[in-house]
Amino acid sequence: MHQAPTISVIITTYNRPDALRAVVEACFAQDDLDFEIIIADDGSGDNTRACVAALQAAAPVPLRHVWQDDLGFRAARARNLGTLAASGDYIVFLDGDCVPRRDFVRRHRRLAQPGHVVCGSRILLSEAGTGRVLAEGIDLQRLGLGRMLRWRLAGHLNKLLQLLVGWPDLGRTTRRFSWRRIKSCNMAAWRSDLELVNGFDESFLGWGHEDSDLVVRLFNAGVMRKDGAFATEVFHLWHRENQRDQESSNRQLVLRRAAERTTLAVRGLREEAAGG
């Protein structure tokens, strides 16, 4: 039995207040409310600021908002700023378009294990399904089996089994690095381990693989990976694909760091903490 960690949920967002509201309200409905929320904002405008203020007024848990200038895709820095603003010793990263199930925090707490990073999984919603959820205020937590099946058959959900079957905390740790299911939209790590590798690397250019880079560097530092599937699923709302101009070069950089056993981010938590 591991000591229960103090949890900070860091939610990244950028100019999508309707999705952010759905995500945060699902956090408010958790069956474990012993956590705080940090909204890590990658330069959103006034609509998001107003949304966050309204959510803060109704929040049953501590909720903070950290913001940076809009200078392009800088999710790595937003997450680092969120980590520095957090008070928890265990950090759960969640994207502002990933709606957690009611037991999300409780499940992550149960999977938390010293020396491990947990990579969760997601259920993808279609464009039409996402439109209905946001326009009609559909509570995804209350979808009954019949409706979930209809949504799956209609293509609004890309998976169903993960919503119906749970998997205990057995056989989840792997001692080899794998690219599979590394998504910073649903990932958890101990703050001390993030500090050990200097957090997310802000030197990555454009979209792609800064999350894989973090897991590689944690692995190189001796932090094992733990699979959070069939326990920590989130509903990932549809969005247009980001530009992936740098994806190939970013992947090559991660492969090189894996081979070279790199552990430290070039620019990360330490530089932000120092104000550099």
Q: At what angle do helices 247-260 and 210-220 cross, to 10 degrees?
A: 0
pLDDT digits (tens, 9 = 90+) for 169-199: 888 987 777 767 788 899 999 999 999 999 9
Section 213-224 average pLDDT: 95
- For residues 250 and 142, what is the distance between their CA atoms, to the nearest angstrom? 39
User: How many CA atoms, within 13 angstroms, populate the side-chain half-sphere of residue 164?
Assistant: 10
pLDDT at residue 251, as a whole number: 86
Burial class (CB in 10 A: 0-12, 13-18, 19+), 175: exposed
Tens digits of residue pLDDT in 99-116: 999 999 999 999 999 999
Residue 1 has pLDDT above 50, yes or no: no
What mean pLDDT value characterizes the chain? Answer: 92
For residues 214-230, average pLDDT? 94
Strands (E), the chain: 7-13, 35-41, 63-67, 90-95, 98-100, 116-119, 122-124, 173-174, 186-190, 224-227, 234-236
Segment 202-223 shows an average pLDDT of 89
* Residue 131: CB atoms within 10 Å: 14
Residue 2: which pLDDT band, with cuts at 50, 70 and 90? low
- What's residue 245's pLDDT? 54
Q: Tell me: the pLDDT tens digits for 23-68?
A: 999 999 999 999 999 999 999 999 999 999 999 999 999 999 999 9
Q: How far is CA 180 from the centre of its chain?
A: 15
Cα distances (Å, whole numbers) of residue 195 to 47, 83, 161, 200: 33, 10, 36, 10
The DSSP symbol for 242 reads P
pLDDT one-digit tens code per residue, 130-176: 999 999 999 998 888 899 999 999 999 999 998 888 888 888 987 77
pLDDT band at 82 (very low <50, low <70, confident <90, very high): very high
Segment 245-269 mean pLDDT: 88
Share of the chain above pLDDT 70, in %: 95
**pTM as predicted:** 0.94
Residue position matching structure tokens 């010793």 = 89
**How high is the pLDDT of residue 200?**
97
CATH superfamily of 7-273: Spore Coat Polysaccharide Biosynthesis Protein SpsA; Chain A (3.90.550.10)
Cα 65-69-71 angle, rounded to 5 deg: 135
- The count of other CB atoms within 10 Å of the CB of residue 260 is 9
Question: Per-domain residue ranges for the chain?
Answer: 7-273
Q: What is the pLDDT of residue 23?
A: 98
Tell me how crowded residue 172 is: count the other CB atoms within 10 A of its CB.
20
Which residues fall within 8 angstroms of residue 105, CB to CB, at 6 or more apart?
Answer: 7, 9, 27, 30, 32, 33, 34, 35, 92
